[in-house]
Amino acid sequence: MPALLFPLGLAALLAVVVPLVIHLMRRDELRPVAFAALRWLDPRPKPRQRIRFSEWPLLIVRLLLIAVLAVVLARPVLTAPMSAKPFVAVAPGVDLAAVREGDDEVQRHWLAPGFPSTDRPAPQTTASVSSLLRELDAQLPQGVKLTVVVPQTLQGVDAERPVLSRPVDWRIVAGAMPAPQAMTTKRPVLSVRHTPERAADVRWFRAVSAAWLTPFEAAATDAALPPKDRVVVWLGAGDAPQSVRDWARSGGTVLFGSQMVWPQSPNRRIAWRDETGAPLMEAQSEGKGRMLRLTRALNAAAFPILIESEFPEKLNNILSDQVTPARVASRDLIPVTGRSVFTRPAEDLTPWLALLAAALFLIERILATASRRRAAP
């Protein structure tokens, strides 16, 4: 729909009186012819004159030119109209029967690139759910209610909860998203930093590195930190050292033991759960990097998966170079509010109106030149 960024510019429309006055004051350029008999007529009586506009095409073109220039000053833009009806986004893999039907006052679309209508078959896509939510939030008009229907497990999400400009009705139903294609990733290299009290816990990570066939390093907590392409495993107690947090903030990945205390963050999430749904590892972004923390002590009694064969692979899925984790429980990805309202981009019509003004100016010059040629003796 059209809109004006500077409506006061329309005041320039008052300039349309200029060509009207010019045409009223304009007199036809006629050659006087001496006629002797006219000298006997009384010069005082004057015939009545009507207001007449000559050169109608030229006058109309000049009026249009001024009107177009006034609209250009008002900065017209064109925005795509969008419905104000509540929007329901359904993640692929959700059975549409679980979505309430019969309400014509609701827009239903798949949570997929392009947001196709649910009247079409569900798209087989593994696009990032978090990115799609942010894109949808930016496209919807302010005030439109957003409902997102997702299965219990999501595929391909960001490492933190999405921050949107509006509250979201987050509904979790039965179903499963299409699994992404398997990716071959570089396995991480672990560098362990530990206190003397936690020296016994180092063996678990040494065994993991042996299963990955990657180099392994272990040293005391006063040793220098490794390059950013390695994962630091910090085994100690108390608050997380500021130097380690700064290292993570500059792009590194740090895994803390369960006895470490790390700073609170609104984007903290559960990165790993056991079969019962209990958390095993938390994660949060930290500047350009991220920090993770185990929630249980490193012993077989409290952490039974340590002695299972799939432990190295599951740890690799979290610590690997993948940008997003493969699977996340939907309850851990509920969006939060706090993002500023996004102004939808509009198409600026000024260039097109400038071209129209240039064309009208060319036509005006042609008509004006032709008028002078006709008036010439």
Long-range (24+ apart) CB contacts under 8 A made by 95-101 are 95/173, 95/174, 95/175, 98/149, 98/173, 98/174, 98/175, 99/149, 99/173
Is the separation of the CB atoms in 319 and 159 below 8 Å? no
pLDDT given for residue 134 in this prediction: 87
Query: What is the model's pLDDT at position 128?
Result: 78
- Is 289 within 8 Å of 252 (Cβ atoms)? yes
The rounded distance, in Å, linking the Cα atoms of 292 and 284 is 7
The tens digit of pLDDT for each residue in 65-108 reads 889 988 888 888 776 666 778 899 998 888 877 776 555 678 88
Mean pLDDT across the stretch 161-186?
76
Q: Model confidence at 323, in pLDDT bands (50, 70, 90)?
A: very low
Residue 193 structure tokens? 């930093």
Phi, psi at residue 114, to the nearest 5°? 85, -15
Confidence at 348, pLDDT banded by 50, 70, 90: confident
Whole-model pTM: value is: 0.44
Q: Contact 135/109 with Cβ under 8 angstroms?
A: no
Show the beta-strand stretches assigned E in 92-215. 107-110, 146-151, 153-155, 163-164, 168-173, 190-194
- Structural domains in the chain plus CATH codes: 2-31+52-78+346-375 (no CATH), 87-181 (no CATH), 190-321 (3.40.50.880)
Mean pLDDT of the 129-157 span: 84
Q: What is the pLDDT of residue 234?
A: 96
Confidence band, pLDDT 50/70/90 cuts, at residue 186? confident
Q: Above pLDDT 90, what percent of the chain? A: 31
Between 8 and 188, the more confident residue is 188
